[in-house]
Structure 1
Amino acid sequence: MVLMQAEKTAIGSICFLAGPFTLLENALVLGVIAATATLRRRPTYLFIASIALADVFASCFFTTSFLDFHLFRQSDGPTAYLFKLGGVTMAFTSSVGSLLLTALDRYLCIHQASSYKVLLTRRRALLCLLILWSVTIFISFLPLMGWRCPTGLIPPCSRLFPYVNHGYLACWTSFTLVLLTLILCAYALILLKAHRHETSMTSLQGAAGTGHARMRMDIRLARTFGLILLILVGCWLPALSFMLADVFVILTHTQQRAFAFCSTLCLVNSAVNPLLYALRCRELRVALLQLLQRLCVIGRCKKTTQDLPPGIHFTEEISCTAITEHEIPTNGTMQLHSVSEMVNN
């Protein structure tokens, strides 16, 4: 609780803006994947759904816990504080772990294209997610299960997180850095494989314009992955650097205030993830538009039924949701006759 009043206002504004926005967009991604059967069956979108679920938890747990601690100065006991911290840790660790699974999915799709569907089935994807979330939950709540400091902030306790042992903080930070490194390696191997493939295709075709097309493709791919990695590293590395420094040196109040701002970048990363991993996928955008169209049709149908006279009762034959494009002329005529007969009666 070292923030000045101006810093509280700035951080509160960031959390109040990024928190609800992160929650809404990740919930939208989850809803689209859950409502679309073709997306639910594909491992790629299961991993994207795991990212969205973790970021939903992050937007809820981080925003409430962070504001409660720094702005409202709520002093919880060790158990309550470590429980809240465990929820935040679980959300962010699951988010980074799901990003790693997404990177490995893309790696297999490039390097094992012929046997990709055999190697990564839906059952294996669900098993990977089950293992990921189980390990994440176990690691995140280790301080609550006993790996803690008896005092609040006196060494060997962390100066950033009360009741958190330096050993646990070092282990969790190292684990997260390993996950980030594996993500970087996966995307680097994807770029290398794509470059070699395009080079071999150019040498086989021997066309003059193919080299320029290959260069443009390589540049587009490098820009896409570069943007993903830049945002990922830029959001996570500052906070992780302060955590590692906290293990070895005693941080000043100024450094602790800087860490508070850096930790909000992790929430920003959760807000950007749907834009990078979900809404860039054409299939998911098409599924979103189809879902919105279905909701609009249902809304129009309900409005139509409400505008009809109260004496008319619909049967299954004249339900507007059961009409297809080929059945509109015949069924429409039958419905008109049946409705007119009911009105006459």
Structure 2
Amino acid sequence: MSSSPGIKPRENVDMLYISIETAIALASVLGNVLVVLVVCVNRALRNTTFSFIVSLAVADIAVGVLVIPLAIIISLGFNTQFYTCLFLSCLLLVITQSSILSLLAIAIDRYLRVKIPTKYSTIVTQGRAYVAVCLCWILSFLTGLVPMFGWNNLDAHRNISRSSKIVCEFTTVMRMDYMVYFNFFGWVVVPLSVMIALYAEIFRVIRKQLNRRAEATCDRDRYYQKELKLAKSLALVVFLFVVCWLPIHIMNCIDFFCPECHVPKFATYVGIFMSHVNSALNPLVYAFRIKRFRVTLIQITRRCMLCKSTEATPTCASTPGQTEKVDL
């Protein structure tokens, strides 16, 4: 995706690409910062599930702040050393991997919630959730930085020294067998297959419990209704991830298994856009599907835009007594 100086059509394509990517980055950062803010403001949302949702939001913020700018830089084909370009490319994989592992952690958490509801609170504690989040990120770095330890395209550039510069492109430094076998099949297909199986079992258990009308109690019925609604929302997040990320991985498979096949540049750009826009979609799912999240988001918006707190106050300026009341 390198640009050729002096060719205006290509410059126009680059400008359009940069403009769209910038808009996606802004939407992703703004939406996911609000997700983190909502969880911090609403104590009712500070549970184990939303710990993983915050981890996913942080990964999506990193997409807007780090991944998209790096993707733009790499797409322009600037000159740099091989390992510098390789490290920047690996960072893109680290953030993607953290999103997948956060989604997997959410699925496991919801599965335990409906499978062992009476023991859930003793097994899945907040401290263990924080440990799980840390493990997700550590594992993301370990898997994403594998090319830095040798599984890369340096063999194809034996004629260059460590100080020599190359045109930095993702496919120049990254081996397709790593992207297809290790990254896609190993760390995308397998976790997504586990997630699909977990959500299928979650829905089966909930439906089974809701169909037991004879021995159902009002509290238990309400509990499983709430779990069903939240499970549908989180399953939708997984579905959007699959829809947005599969195209670019399928193109990588085509490049690897069918080298003579030509993937149009436009299709590559669309695949990149879809993978990035996924980070901006998750906050919309939370806002439209999770009532507690939506109510808190509306309160934050009113407080910021209309300069009002959740309790009605006449003006923004207030006396120390009023401030204490609002904080309380």
- The alpha carbon displacement at 1:23 in A equals 0.8
Aligned to 1:284: 293
Larger Rg: 1
- Cα distance change, pair 199–297 in 1 and its aligned pair in 2 (3 A): closer
**Counterpart among 90, 99, 110 of residue 94 in structure 2:** 90
Q: Which runs of 5+ in 2 are unaligned?
A: 4-8, 159-168, 217-224
For 2:48, the aligned partner's letter is P
- Cα distance change, pair 253–67 in 1 and its aligned pair in 2 (3 A): farther
Aligned to 2:219: none
Indicate whether 1:161 and 2:161 are aligned: no
Aligned to 2:51: 46
After superposition, the CA RMSD in angstroms is 3.5
- Map 1:225-304 onto structure 2 (within 5 A): 227-250=236-259, 252=261, 254-255=263-264, 257-277=266-286, 280-292=289-301, 296-297=307-308, 304=317
- Cα distance change, pair 142–30 in 1 and its aligned pair in 2 (3 A): same
Equivalents in 2 of 1:153, 1:189: separation in Å?
A: 49
Aligned to 2:324: 322
Determine if contact 1:239/1:262 at 8 Å carries over to the other structure: yes
- The alpha carbon displacement at 1:2 in A equals 6.1
Indicate whether 1:171 and 2:185 are aligned: no
Aligned to 1:200: 212
Equivalents in 1 of 2:285, 2:260: separation in Å?
A: 34
Aligned to 2:39: 33
Moved more, 138-147 or 6-15: 6-15
Aligned to 2:145: 141
Equivalents in 2 of 1:256, 1:79: separation in Å?
A: 26
- Percent of aligned pairs sharing the same letter: 24
1:161 is paired with a residue whose SS is helix
Equivalents in 1 of 2:212, 2:149: separation in Å?
A: 55
1:162 is paired with a residue whose SS is helix
2:79 is paired with a residue whose SS is coil
Q: Which runs of 5+ in 1 are unaligned?
A: 206-215, 306-313, 326-345
1:133-185: per-residue Cα shift (whole Å, max 9, x none)? 0010111122223332215689xxxx962222344222011211111111211
Runs of at least 4 residues off by over 6 Å: 216-223
Equivalents in 2 of 1:102, 1:171: separation in Å?
A: 23
Query: TM-score, length-normalised on structure 1?
Result: 0.74
Equivalents in 1 of 2:14, 2:326: separation in Å?
A: 56
- Map 1:47-196 onto structure 2 (within 5 A): 47-70=52-75, 72-151=76-155, 161-169=171-179, 170-174=181-185, 175-196=187-208
Aligned to 2:221: none
- Cα distance change, pair 255–140 in 1 and its aligned pair in 2 (3 A): same
Determine if contact 1:55/1:271 at 8 Å carries over to the other structure: yes
Determine if contact 1:61/1:84 at 8 Å carries over to the other structure: no
Equivalents in 2 of 1:130, 1:99: separation in Å?
A: 14
